[in-house]
Structure 1
Amino acid sequence: MTAAPEWLEITLKTSRDEVETLENWLFKSGALSVTLLDSVDDEELSHAVLEPVPGEVRLWDDITLVGLYARETLLDELHDALHLAAAMLEIAVPAFTASRLQEREWERTWMDTFKPMQFGEHFWICPTEQEAPDPSAINLRLDPGMAFGTGTHATTAQCLAWMGAETARTLRPLEGCRVIDYGCGSGVLAIAALLLGAERAWAVDIDPQALSATRDNARQNGVLDKLEVGMPELVNDLSVELVLANILFKPLMDLADTLTASVKPGGRLVVSGILREQMEPLRERYSEHFEFEPGQDQDGWALMTAIRR
């Protein structure tokens, strides 16, 4: 029997200032996932990333980036893709190492590096195999996979921090809300909403793999009975109290009419996946029907919230 091809992994070291650009470079070259690790592997607290305040995303000073590529990827093809992506971004190709990683080892590596993350006083994202730091808190169980969204990226982290900001006051800050997670990826935002008290949620995406991951993750967290999962047409005639759209700038601009119709008057729209400099044009695109609250940004990525008129 022929052995299955091994995963291809690209590893490089960088600084906090360059991590966003190089993470983007890896994704543009075809990476299925990118992991951020502390380059200094010890127990010293002098450089550790300690508990951030709600809405804050912190990184180490020295970071190792690890990009994972599909098993069928050839090294020569990846070399070309890395150089093409660098040319598109107008950056020099940084020093990197390439290695092969068996599937089982890759899964183990994810489990070893993905740690519990806190988003608010009493809200955590925890790997299934690890003990929850606060068993009395809202603990969303999630393991990294191919679908985007575990809370490690600044865009997802800011959304989760916004959702968990009131958990010091109540464990059910979204009590009674109906929620749409538009571009759900792993389903983490829809699942978080339900665990935080939402009455019902709809998770939509154009990627079948994302829909499958969302169902699995919802089942694991015991909320599948309150969640409907499907393509965007699922919510065509729906108007709810909260719409979460952690997608990119262009689809947010293109989907303005659709997302506007999905938020009932007095409801709230939360958008992320945009850069700081894209906040103003997005505000202008939605301003006819929304009153925007003060926005926030972290490491160049922005989160905006608005109330439907």
Structure 2
Amino acid sequence: MSWIQLTIRTEQDRAEAIGDSLSELGAQAVTFVDAKDTPVYEPKPGEVHYWPNTEVIGLFDAEDDTDIVIAALQNDFGQQQPLAYTLNPLEDKDWEREWMDNFHPIQFGKRLWICPSWRDIPDPDAVNVMLDPGVAFGTGTHPTTALCLRWLDSLDLTDKTVVDFGCGSGILGIAALKLGAKRVIGIDIDPQALEASQANAERNGVGDQIELYLPENQPQFEADVVVANILAGPLRELQSVITDYCHPVGVLALSGILVEQAEEIEQLYARDFILEPVQTEGDWAMVSGFKK
């Protein structure tokens, strides 16, 4: 099948309404793309934030009459100023194969590899975590996850208990277990994340070493290692909760932080931790240290 891609450049307050209209007008898929490489700061649960300059992209069957689609959109959204749009044909491809070809085994630190299932393992003697890209829960490709994976690889985790706060896909907790930890406690507000973590842990042969909880159901405990790859807002709001997870002389890593937010997070956690130099990758930072 051949496709036509209709791209509309707009402002954040109209992006969702235009996306809804594209769906109603027959778009097979609608996506939202940052038009100016602008970071979006953390939303609260249930919120959806768009970029100040957003491209709304609708994918249509090439046989659809896009003139009708554009006329309808101009009538609804372009009365004061005509909508800026482009139309581009897309070649017919095996999109699933194209998507799979973009994911390769990635090494983090000296020992650890994250490997998708359809690729050969580069080093059978390394610590290999098998994890396929899923629905946004984390696969190691984002700098915040990469910073945490390299940090875990640098530790001696033998027989340690680890808290993975905001566990998502379970990638950090599973990596910790494969690196020698004896027990991981994963916590997330999303029940689907807990299901993904359990499935991925079982696939990697460590399902019986991971315990998963919603925040309201978690027991009291202290851990040797705490890693929280979430966002600056929750790290601020839950500072006392996250600190209490870590027992004296335990170690902590906090990520999901933009570089310009790192100093504030450092100041909050310096009350209870001896902090190491901030590590960065691109626009993102990780704060880590030892509990006093």
> How do 1:196-235 residues align onto structure 2 when only pairs under 5 Å count?
196-235=179-218
1:218-274: CA deviations, max 9, x gaps?
A: 111011100011212344411000011000001000001101110000001100000
The 1:186/1:248 distance shift into structure 2, 3 A limit, reads same
Aligned residue pairs: how many? 240
> How do 1:93-172 residues align onto structure 2 when only pairs under 5 Å count?
107-165=96-154
The 1:22/1:241 distance shift into structure 2, 3 A limit, reads closer
TM-score when normalising by structure 1: 0.67
2:172 maps to 1:193: no
Displacement of 1:29 in angstroms is: 3.5
Q: 2:158 aligns with which of 166, 175, 179?
A: 175
1:182-206: CA deviations, max 9, x gaps?
A: 0011110000000000010011110
TM-score when normalising by structure 2: 0.71
Cross-structure match for 2:245: 262
Q: 1:241 aligns with which of 214, 224, 247?
A: 224
Residue identity over aligned pairs, in percent, reads 41
Contact 1:203/1:227 (<8 A) preserved? yes
Contact 1:122/1:137 (<8 A) preserved? yes
Cross-structure match for 1:169: none
Query: Hey, which bits of structure 1, 4+ residues long, moved more than 3 A?
Result: 5-12, 18-24, 27-30, 66-69, 93-100, 105-110, 233-236
* Alpha-carbon distance in 2 for matches of 1:224, 1:242: 19
2:265 maps to 1:282: yes
* Alpha-carbon distance in 2 for matches of 1:67, 1:222: 41
Q: Secondary structure at the match of 2:225?
A: strand
* Alpha-carbon distance in 2 for matches of 1:227, 1:98: 47
2:8 maps to 1:8: no
Displacement of 1:97 in angstroms is: 7.2
Q: Which runs of 5+ in 1 are unaligned?
A: 31-65, 70-74, 84-92, 167-172
The 1:262/1:99 distance shift into structure 2, 3 A limit, reads farther
Letter in 1 for 2:111: H
Displacement of 1:19 in angstroms is: 4.9
Displacement of 1:7 in angstroms is: 4.0
The 1:135/1:19 distance shift into structure 2, 3 A limit, reads farther
Q: Secondary structure at the match of 2:128?
A: strand
1:62-119: CA deviations, max 9, x gaps?
A: xxxx9999xxxxx99xx9xxx9xxxxxxxxx99887899xxxx665443221111000
The 1:270/1:29 distance shift into structure 2, 3 A limit, reads same
Q: Which runs of 5+ in 2 are unaligned?
A: 1-26, 43-47, 59-68, 78-82
The 1:229/1:107 distance shift into structure 2, 3 A limit, reads farther
* Alpha-carbon distance in 2 for matches of 1:128, 1:258: 36
Contact 1:204/1:234 (<8 A) preserved? no
Q: Secondary structure at the match of 1:124?
A: strand
Point out the more displaced range, 188-197 or 235-244. Answer: 235-244
